[in-house]
Amino acid sequence: MERRLAPHVLVPIALAVVVWLVALPARFVNYDTAYATVWGNDLLHGRVPDYDVPFAPTPHPLAMVVGMLGSLGVFEVLAFLALGVLGWLTFELGRAWFNGPTGVLAAAIVLTREPVFSYGVRAYVDIPYICFLLGALLIETRRPRAGTWPLVLIALAGLLRPEAWLFAFAYCVWLWRGGALTRTHVALLVSAPLLWCLSDLLITGNPIHSLTGTRDTAADLGRITGLRHVPSTLPRRLGEILREPVLLGAAIGGVLSLWRLRDRRGVLLGAAAGVIAIVAFCVLAAAGLSILTRYLLLPATILAIFAAAGVFGWLELGRTDPWRRRWIAGAALTAVALLAFVPSQVSRLHATRAALVTQTKILDELHELAPHARCPTLSVPNRRAVPQLALWTDRPPRDIVSAQEAGRYTGSAFVPASPAIADQFVLDARDKDKTLPPAPPVRASVFGRYWTLYDTCA
């Protein structure tokens, strides 16, 4: 038993260490997950989380439970572990659905996608969400209609992202059609949405606050929403994640697999999961939520497995199969395209890593300067660094002023040392308002490389 369990533990950890070494010294927690830590810390100390703070992100119940550990460092470690698990699960699914080489290539494709690397290092909940669902797919692949354990993993995913609720419903329908649905399965089906709504109800009095609040924030930020934008946006977002050679391989591998290998359970299961993921994305868009690239990471991962099958799936055909040589020709075309794009992909990863390293240093210096603030009130350029500063100074986020919203800095003001620093961390290309107030007309208290601290109350 220990020998069989060892790879399941050591391989994800080894992959996590490799990604960590590549990213080093980049490691920081994004805005949404930082708020999960703030709210988890509130719950731990018996305080009611403040979901109504300006531009509050969506509260994810499971992330808040982890946030009760009270440290951003916990999420930083879990972020790299999640990337390691993602790579391992992608390999296992590729191997189970097709063969070992497919699994290896699929994992390599997924872990070298720039958005996966970027969102993973910044500890977005989307990577663990994908891991839970891929784990459920792996169990179902190995033991059809396994029932309970896949639904447990899907329920956990459903406490991170609501799209998982559709997966749970579809899987329960599958169990029902096979006469395998039980009361336990139904309880697991409704557990995630009920717990999420109960959490919202207890904290805000509104059981659907996460939906209405997220929709309002999307409108305030001017995000792209609505089902009508899906046809034009979805292919572009998938292309941003995977790039052209992977999409080519996915088309070749997907079509040929469904045609020549449709008797293999994993092929149909993977295709069904991909369709459900796209449908779930469309449901979010129709509900008025933002159309974001990271919401497509799951279908992109499934497409990556089929792209790898486009290169190695022909190994599963008999030597006399008339389509074996044609598949090999498609595999060669895909392999050449993948190799041709390696320099471009390396350049994208290098640029992303450089940006993440700079942003990590900017946040680290803000952490170092936080204890030097002497005024009762703190102010920052905009809402970007509010949750981190709230944790480091043990203040409610509402007590930290956004100079962008107030029109000026007050109290102890943390001001970017230059416009370039503001562009590298404070401002977001998607922000509706990219203006920042000028620095306070007083002598600076502390000069840093990235921040200047002004105590206007002195």
The pLDDT tens digits of the residues spanning 116-152 come to 999 999 999 999 999 999 999 999 999 999 999 999 9
Q: In which band, very low, low, confident or very high, does the pLDDT at 451 lie, cut at 50, 70 and 90?
A: very high
Which amino acid makes up residue 318? Answer: G
> CA separation (Å) from 239 to 112, 159, 235, 236?
14, 28, 6, 5
Q: What tokens were used for 47?
A: 């305080």
Count of residues for the chain?
A: 458
For residue 230, the tally of other CB atoms under 10 A from its CB is 18
d(C-alpha 336, C-alpha 126), whole Å: 31
Quickly list DSSP for 239-306.
HHHH-HHHHHHHHHHHHHHHHHSTTSHHHHHHHHHHHHHHHHHHHHHHTT----GGGGHHHHHHHHHH
Say what the pLDDT of residue 432 is. Answer: 67
Report which secondary-structure segment, H or E, holds 232: helix 230-242
At 447, phi and psi to the nearest 5? -105, 125
The helix/strand/coil state of 224 is coil
d(C-alpha 247, C-alpha 102), whole Å: 15
* pTM (whole model) above 0.85: yes
Say what the pLDDT of residue 428 is. Answer: 72
d(C-alpha 411, C-alpha 440), whole Å: 10
| CB distance 183 to 173 below 8 Å | no
| CB distance 453 to 373 below 8 Å | yes
The pLDDT tens digits of the residues spanning 10-26 come to 999 999 999 999 999 99
Strands 400-402 and 451-455, sheet pairing:
unpaired
d(C-alpha 413, C-alpha 454), whole Å: 5
Say what the pLDDT of residue 2 is. Answer: 43
> CA torsion 231→87→102→2, rounded to 10°?
-140
The pLDDT tens digits of the residues spanning 315-355 come to 999 999 999 999 999 999 999 999 999 999 999 999 999 99
d(C-alpha 103, C-alpha 7), whole Å: 15
C-alpha angle 60-369-357 in degrees, rounded to nearest 5: 60
| CB distance 452 to 439 below 8 Å | yes
> CA separation (Å) from 257 to 241, 262, 316, 446?
22, 6, 10, 62
> CA separation (Å) from 235 to 47, 60, 176, 239, 304?
43, 27, 34, 6, 15
Residues 6 or more apart in contact with residue 436 via CB below 8 angstroms: 381, 382, 403, 404, 416, 422, 426, 427
Q: In which band, very low, low, confident or very high, does the pLDDT at 7 lie, cut at 50, 70 and 90?
A: low
Strands 446-447 and 451-455, sheet pairing:
antiparallel
Say what the pLDDT of residue 1 is. Answer: 41
Rg (CA), the chain: 23
Window from 219-228, 334-343, 374-383 with minimum mean pLDDT: 219-228
Strand order across the beta sheet in which 446-447 lies: 400-402, 378-380, 412-416, 451-455, 446-447
Q: In which band, very low, low, confident or very high, does the pLDDT at 197 lie, cut at 50, 70 and 90?
A: very high
C-alpha angle 106-86-21 in degrees, rounded to nearest 5: 95
d(C-alpha 154, C-alpha 164), whole Å: 6
In this structure, what DSSP letter does residue 98 have?
A: T
The structure tokens 């994305």 sit at: 281
**What interhelical angle do 297-312 and 230-242 show, nearest 10?**
60
In this structure, what DSSP letter does residue 229 have?
A: G
By C-alpha distance, which of 385, 237, 379, 232 is closest to 297?
Answer: 237
Which amino acid makes up residue 253? Answer: G
| CB distance 419 to 397 below 8 Å | no
| CB distance 220 to 55 below 8 Å | yes
Asked if pLDDT for residue 221 goes beyond 80, the answer is: no
Asked if pLDDT for residue 403 goes beyond 60, the answer is: yes
Window from 50-54, 220-224, 422-426 with minimum mean pLDDT: 220-224
Say what the pLDDT of residue 34 is. Answer: 96
The structure tokens 């879990």 sit at: 78
Q: For 354-363, what is the mean pLDDT?
A: 95
| CB distance 444 to 454 below 8 Å | yes
Report the mean per-residue pLDDT for the chain: 93
Q: What tokens were used for 299?
A: 């279908």
Q: In which band, very low, low, confident or very high, does the pLDDT at 27 lie, cut at 50, 70 and 90?
A: very high
**170 exposure class (CB count in 10 Å sphere: 0-12, 13-18, 19+):** middle
